[in-house]
Structure 1
Amino acid sequence: MSILEMKVPSPGESITEVEIATWLVKDGDYVEKDQAIAEVDSDKATLELPAEASGIITLKAEEGDAVAVGQVVCLIDTGAAKPSGSAPAAEAPKAEEKKEEVKAAPAAPASAPAATYATGSASPAAKKILDEKSIDAASVQGTGKDGRVTKEDALNATPSMGTPTGGPRGTERKKMSMLRRKVAERLVEAKNTTAMLTTFNEVNLTEVNKLRTEFKDAFKAKHNASLGFMSFFTKAVTRALQLFPDVNSMIDGQEQIKFDFADISIAVSGPKGLMVPVVRNAELLSFRGVEAEIKRLATRARDGQITVDEMTGGTFTITNGGVFGSMLSTPIINPPQSGILGMHNIIERPVAVNGQVVIAPMMYIALSYDHRIIDGRESVGFLVAVKEALENPMELLMNNDPKKALEL
């Protein structure tokens, strides 16, 4: 018998512990080499654990267990023969499904004797009164024999706010994933350790909409990617960061670190919670480059394939609550960064343009920033620069040549 000990690999620097989120195989299953046998949560991402060899597996950790990097989580008997006629390994049912499988079928209810005043908790008269008041007899303290509820008890009973009326009142308790716990920890850290302030502005997206309408079909046909709002906002942000470099900086102890590059973290909602993959050197990317990279990272995040390295090292964050219908919000800084831009939904509203009231697609934008190193002038100036670029994208983002900028 040859036994292979499978240990937890390191998902990345500074990560010393992971959590077994889901076993994809059962104890005693035959697994193939490189088959995904488990999903493990780190504080930054969910990763698949592949089998290092073929053989019969013995699990050494339970779902929900926190295990150290390098700890043995399963054994594989590499000398075991593959069962003849075995079907390809399938994913193990989720934890909730397992619970349903082992749950015994409820026993058939025994025929109960007819309820009478002698056997019930309330007299028929009391029961009628309580039913009219929508009060459960079990919630009334009876004064009759053996604690039974009398007619007088029913007459004196009054429903209180919050009195159960027969509707479902179940609760569910489940452990938060390691990723969700880390997100919660970082959000609290940001609120408690930064002098966070938010400034707002609004953007008229008429010109952006015109460009998207005119070129989106040709852009899609040539680049196999949609010409969305994120590329316009990312290009506007990188331009503004060059104009106001304090926004593209962070605090390290008693020092301020400024960056001459823009690694833009894009907040996306994944199946395991909020993730922020990073678009590297976004200031050097074209519209096509930004759209392609955001699509690639968002797909990997939603498929649970994103790596720690792909979510580490951003210098500024963009989050788009508008896709969920948010009109206005104050986004929380993604530490150790010092700024985050919040996008919101686009609403057609009446606005004054050149002395005339017109209907225009308007969006509120918000910049949350660390006031310890970013002053009001820089924060407001940054947001105005973003607004100016989005309201005049032809000149400020495309150098008056949209076909060249879009590589058409």
Structure 2
Amino acid sequence: MEIKKIKNNNTTFTNAGTIGLGLRAASKICSIQEGGAGLSNIRFIQDNATGLVPKAVCARSKAELAENSFLEFSESVLVYYCPALLGEKIFRKGFSRKLPQNLKQKVSIPAKDLLKNNNSLENKKLMPVKAALALGGFAIPLIEYTLNYAKNIMTLKMFKQADFENIANLNKTKNEDKTQFDKVEKSAKKHIKLAGGIYAGCLAFASLLLSKGEKSKALQNLSELIVAPGTKLFKNNSKARNFFDKFLSLDFANDKGKLSLSRGQLTSCVLVGGAGYFGSSKDRGKQNYLETLSRYPIVGFYIIYGNELLEKGFKKFLYNTGKCKDVLNEKLEVPRFDELKEYSKKFGENADVMYKKMLKQKVLIAGVPLVFGIGVIGFFITKSANLFTKFRYNKENQNKTK
């Protein structure tokens, strides 16, 4: 089966009358990841489905419910929608104002692609601007870092609790240590100020790049390292080059000429935000730290890769077992939702029947990994982490009483 590209960014179901409500709803949900802002939209849904909902359902106290709801939702909005807001709406016009008009349009092109074109005159002007934009966008992971400490302060103020054993309803006496209370508050304020200082440094360096970057070889090299680390460091190793450019570049992605969330920015949020997770949890006691340690690496990996690995493995399984042959080819390629109607027309009078059949297959391919991720990464990881924490706490208390 040959997969042809059809330029249509709107997913519509023109024979909706013959498609059940359940299939229509499932199709709409699965098709979100194929929209223009697909990475942001589908990750927002995945993050809330695998983070907010399970943590809310499995919350062990009102304090934990409040802080998890605040943290998970604010993180999702911050990470998945603010990069485009910062890059496109706030920084792009100001940072690129000195560029010639023809180069202003190229600011959204990924740095690795610009470097491949090997136009040194253009790149001398563009790379510092793109690196400055990346540094401006670094506010996102830094704010995520601070949210973990802001969550601690919120719980202190609203529920007068600093000890995780009380927050997680492990300790039924609910006694609070004033020393730990003060320690958590001071640490939170210190790290929030630290993040602010780091971002001030990012903006200062961005200003330096904008003012001196075009004429400085050293700043040119640093700019390329920020926005295209793989291309800069691994010229003769395509695997390493592609990996670093995809997951460690701070460059924005290109969404039809507009700046949007990239995979590298998402990775930076997981790594920098993870430092905040571990630091803020350590302040509240051993059990909080160990629970974060048992859960975050798995969840962080899932956030970066989403359900892509699951979907790839599921496609391979379906192809090897001869399933979904109407939409799945030997290269494991699947038509977009907005292409299915066009494919179904070749069946003539049976077009509507085939369209519905292909739609079901497409939903199966995209939906099963998504549901699996929600069930396993979401509820199973959250619930098992809670149970292991309770088990450790009870075991430690038993050992103390012996």
- TM superposition score normalised by structure 1: 0.20
For the pair shown, the structure with the greater C-alpha radius of gyration is: 1
More strand by share: 1
Q: Which has the higher contact order (CA 8 A, sep 6+)?
A: 2
- TM superposition score normalised by structure 2: 0.20
